[in-house]
A and B are shown apart, each in its own frame.
Chain A
Amino acid sequence: GAVVSQHPSWVICKSGTSVKIECRSLDFQATTMFWYRQFPKKSLMLMATSNEGSKATYEQGVEKDKFLINHASLTLSTLTVTSAHPEDSSFYICSARDAGARANYGYTFGSGTRLTVV
């Protein structure tokens, strides 16, 4: 089945530094990937839609200069949290759609990244 690898699974960084999270589709091509943020015991909130070879589309209220998204290939999207602050601490999850699959197949999710900013 389709597999999405997300790395790192957890990271601790100092306030003011930047952190990069990678999302890779291992056995399929993903023209579109999605980045979600999940607060403890809360739902997944869509942050942005990452499109291969073009700029990401951000949801209202999400700072595009803080959360930089790059989707340079059909198998890799990255989310960089720039100048991280403690309020950016959260669980970040990516998902990917198989470009060759029907829409009703849903998406495959990465295992998530727990970011803690100290």
Chain B
Amino acid sequence: AQTVTQSQPEMSVQEAETVTLSCTYDTSENNYYLFWYKQPPSRQMILVIRQEAYKQQNATENRFSVNFQKAAKSFSLKISDSQLGDTAMYFCAFMKNNNNDMRFGAGTRLTVKP
């Protein structure tokens, strides 16, 4: 079974600064997908960024980027120029290539301080 570990229950960052959220996972699969989702106080799950395991290039979406280390099974999220609206729970998620279900880490509560 796949497990996803987020070792930082809570993080805080000053507005405009950069923060990195950690995620590691355990799998015997070679092909899979990784995701970061954001859950603001409204509790709506919002896709932040995604990464295919077969791609070596790290995914980037505007202020959000990942550091994907396949050998280390690590998938960290970097948020640059943090904004107050980034305050939310962030979940790392894993999905096998040939299986449809998505497994989530425990989440990291990020607070952006003015």
Chain A contacts to B: CB under 8 angstroms: 32, 34, 38, 41-44, 46, 49, 91, 93, 95, 97, 103-107, 109, 111-112
The residues of B that contact A97 with a CB separation of less than 8 Å are: 100
- Which residues of chain B (24-50) have a CB below 8 Å from chain A? 33, 35, 37, 42-47, 50
A residues near B105, Cβ cutoff 8 Å: 43
Given contacts A103-B97, A106-B47, A111 and B42 within 8 Å (CB-CB): yes
B residues near A, CB below 8 A? 33, 35, 37, 42-47, 50, 52, 91, 93, 95, 97, 100-107, 109
Whole-angstrom distance from the CB of B34 to the nearest CB of chain A?
A: 9
Residue among B42, B95, B105 facing the most chain A CB atoms (10 A cut-off): B95
Q: What's the least CB distance linking A106 to chain B, in Å?
A: 5
Q: How far is the CA of A66 from the CA of B45 in the complex (A)?
A: 25
Identify the closest chain A residue to B6 (Cβ). A43
A9 to chain B, nearest CB (A): 10
Is the pair B43, A111 in contact by a Cβ cutoff of 8 Å?
Answer: yes
